[in-house]
Amino acid sequence: MSSAPDKSATSPSLAQAHASRGAALVLLGISLMLIAFNLRPVFSSLSVLLPEIIRHTGLSSANAGYLTTLPVLCLGLFAPLAPGLAQRYGMERTLLGMLVLLAAGTALRGQGSISGLFIGSALAGAGIAVGNVLLPALVKRDFAGHTAGMMGLYTMALCGGAAAAAAFTLPLAHAMGDSWTAALAVWALPAAVVALVWAPQSLGSRGTRPRAPARRVRGLTRDPLAWQVTLFMGLQSALAYCVMGWLAPILRDRGLSGVTAGLVVSVSILIQVVVSLLVPPLAVRCKDQRLFNAALSAIAGLALLGLLFAPLSMVWMWAVIQGVGQGGLFAAALTVIVLRSPDSHVAAHLSGMAQSVGYVLAAIGPLLVGLLHGWTGSYSATSWLFIALSIGSGVNGWFAGRNRHVRIAAAAPKPTAP
């Protein structure tokens, strides 16, 4: 004679399973935010120490421009490799390798030689490129019901890491005997710690689970709207990396102390955190995003001119305004990628195009700042660069903000022969 299921036995086990899954998702979410925190200190930590590095190594302004450009260039060059690596090794294990590479490259920059600075920056940039691509993909895969909230936290963590490095790198250098090498290398420690936290999660079965065959998207590079989205992403990124790479040296050249200049950059980046959370919900409620994108480009460019020429008594005001413009641009560029795509598969490919091509284009910004300073001996000439980048961003943002989709469709992969 059969008996009814013992609910008293199954219910607790079911509850325990739900609690276990919830705890695992919380740990995963915290881990992803910690990884994101480590994706930007490489840029802003170098910026605040650039005058000391130039003084102690004899690096010219032009070569300093190459140094600030190198990791940004690597973002574009190595981003296309991330999907293939994730397909072969799993996203979790690929991210673990990225953290190890990032920690090693950051530590190498503190070795003290010019070659160590360049090689370490390239290694760190390559690791960050992989993280830029895979972290949003993990958020979409494992937090499908909370994508907007997790992407907001992801953006906050990115900006938080950049702001922390801008604010604390120079005080750390002073605390460690005015050692710029130690202050650069110290940012390898959080990356190494997060790698240890991430390792148990990446080496389990989750890290190698198979993925569904990718749907093919062809002809994206022949679509004008896709290029307008890509150029909008690239030109606004060029402005952002000019800020992260050169704003602190510009302010120090104008007479601010190193610590104060770092704090100004940090405040500007922290403002970006708040604005980047507010812009997407506002942008999607508009019929299109043309005025939104153009206005934010104008605000970011105008604020950089204010930081370059306005009285130093107004520097904090212009830093806040620049944070509003730049944070809004970053969020708007990510938003139009989604809005201009007819489905998630096209969105993934459009995002890859915008990041790979866009970051290669973005590398031109900090490079030209260094070259212009080397040629003229002044940062005043960079005003024309900031104007050109903001106009280019505004024009492409206007066209990318039109209410239409790229004319590309994702096709199912051809079945393989048995």
Mean model confidence pLDDT for the chain: 84
Instruction: For residues 288-294, give the mean pLDDT.
Output: 89
Rounded to an integer, the average pLDDT of 149-153 is 73
CA pair distance 27, 61, nearest whole angstrom: 44
Please check the confidence at residue 156 and state whether its pLDDT lies above 90. Answer: no
pTM: 0.78
Looking at the predicted structure, is the pLDDT value of residue 205 above 50?
no
Could you tell me which residues come within 8 angstroms of residue 369 by beta carbon, excluding any fewer than 6 positions away?
65, 68, 242, 245, 246, 379, 382, 385
DSSP string for residues in 63-92: HHHHHHHHHHHHHHHHGGGHHHHHHHH-HH
Mean pLDDT for the stretch of residues 269-289: 82
User: In angstroms, rounded to a whole number, what is the distance separating the alpha carbons of residues 240 and 228?
Assistant: 18
Residue 90 confidence (pLDDT): 85
User: What structural domains and CATH numbers belong to the chain?
Assistant: 28-211 (1.20.1250.20), 214-412 (1.20.1250.20)
Q: Please give the average per-residue pLDDT across 31-55, as a whole number.
A: 89
Find, among 112, 84, 82, the residue nearest to 95 by Cα: 82
**CA–CA distance, 128 with 42 (Å, rounded to integer):** 9
What percent of the chain shows pLDDT beyond 90?
A: 35
* pLDDT band of 28, cuts 50, 70, 90: confident
Between 343 and 311, whose confidence is greater?
311
First-to-final CA distance of the chain: 48
Segment 170-181 mean pLDDT: 91
Q: pLDDT at position 342, please?
A: 78
- Calculate mean pLDDT across residues 355-378: 88
Residue of 274 and 13 predicted with greater confidence: 274
Residue 1 has pLDDT above 50, yes or no: no
Output the pLDDT for position 21.
66
pLDDT at 207: 47
- Residue range 309-335: mean pLDDT, rounded: 91
Average pLDDT over residues 294-305: 94
CA-to-CA distance for 245 and 251, rounded, in angstroms? 12
Q: Give me the pLDDT at residue 58, please.
A: 87
Strand partners for 216: 411
Q: What is the pLDDT of residues 342-356, one digit of tens each?
A: 766 677 678 778 888
pLDDT recorded at residue 19: 61
What amino acid is encoded at 89 in this protein?
Y
